[in-house]
Amino acid sequence: MRLILLGPPGSGKGTQANLLQDKFNIPKISTGDILRAAVEEGAELGQQAKKFMDKGELVADEVVIGLIKKRIVEPDCEAGYILDGFPRTIVQAEKLGETLAAMSKDIDSVVDLEVEPEELLVRLTGRRTCKNCGTMFHQTSHPPKVEDVCDECGEELYQRPDDNKETIVKRLEIYDRETAPLKEFYRKQGKLKTIQGFGGMDQIFSELCKMVS
């Protein structure tokens, strides 16, 4: 199963991708996570990427395309994967299409999670993420049992540097401009499915599972 999750920042793509990864035993591939890991490592790639990420802007297409091309040929991707946060531009989608066509391995479905912009802002400003395992919490709607401590692994939670109001507004604008056109791109290929991203995380997950299996 090769799957793309579309949806604006805060729509819950990452959370749903984590759940899918556990249920179907295929890896979630998040370009955001890969880039943040590169930033942590302090590698040249990370240092370059950080400048864009902190401002809420997109990292260059060729950089993320390069990362994805390397990642999807790893052995754990044999049975499929979930793409979270990639593709994000038409160029990225086209390159992915060409790469997969050359491997005779097409994307099976693209699921778009739709959430109102006001709700996204609330979710993102209150979001706290585990430094260690990536589990996400929310200050008011889904707080951890102990403040700033991950329920799953006990490590410290942090607020992503790009989860502040100004940067969030910018990310949402860029989503509308650069990424939302992918809906039409995949609709034309007959691959697009849409889920309303409000309601509980479990309810959305069961809908998503019905859609993809």
List contacts with Zn ion (CB under 5 A): 130, 132-133, 135, 150, 152-153, 155
86 binds ligand ADP (CB under 6 A): yes
Could you tell me how many residues make up the chain?
213
The footprint of ligand ADP on residues 15-34 (CB under 6 A) is: 31-32
User: Which one among 28, 88, 95, 123 touches ligand ADP, defined by CB under 6 A?
Assistant: 88
Residue of 160, 170, 187, 193 with catalytic role: 160
DSSP 156: B
98, two tokens: 């060409």
d(CA 180, CA 184): 8
Interacting span for ligand ADP (CB under 6 A) from 82-90, 140-148, 185-193, 200-208: 82-90
Using rule CB under 6 A, residue 111 touches ligand ADP: no
Q: Please identify, using beta-carbon distances, which residue of 53 and 150 lies nearer to ligand ADP.
A: 53
DSSP string covering 116-150? -HHHHHHHHHTEEEETTT--EEETTTB--SSTTB-
Residue 196, SS3 per DSSP: strand
Contact call for residue 59 and ligand ADP (CB under 6 A) = yes
* Distance (Å, whole) CA 183 – CA 195: 12
Q: Which of 28, 50, 95, 127 is catalytic?
A: 127
- Candidates 2, 95, 123, 171; binder of ligand ADP (CB under 6 A) is 171
Measured CA to CA, the distance from residue 61 to residue 147 in angstroms comes to 38
Q: Which does 34 bind (CB under 5 to 8 A by kind): ligand ADP, Zn ion, none?
A: none
Shortest CA distance to 126 belongs to which of 148, 141, 146, 145? 141
Verify binding: residue 185, ligand ADP, rule CB under 6 A.
no
Give catalytic status of residue 177 as yes or no: no
Task: Clarify whether 128 is annotated catalytic.
Answer: no
The CA-atom distances, in angstroms, between 65 and each of 62, 75, 92, 144 are 5, 19, 6, 35
Q: Catalog residues that contact ligand ADP under the rule CB under 6 A.
A: 9, 31-32, 35, 52-53, 56-59, 64, 85-86, 88, 92, 162, 171
Residues serving a catalytic function are: 13, 88, 127, 160, 171
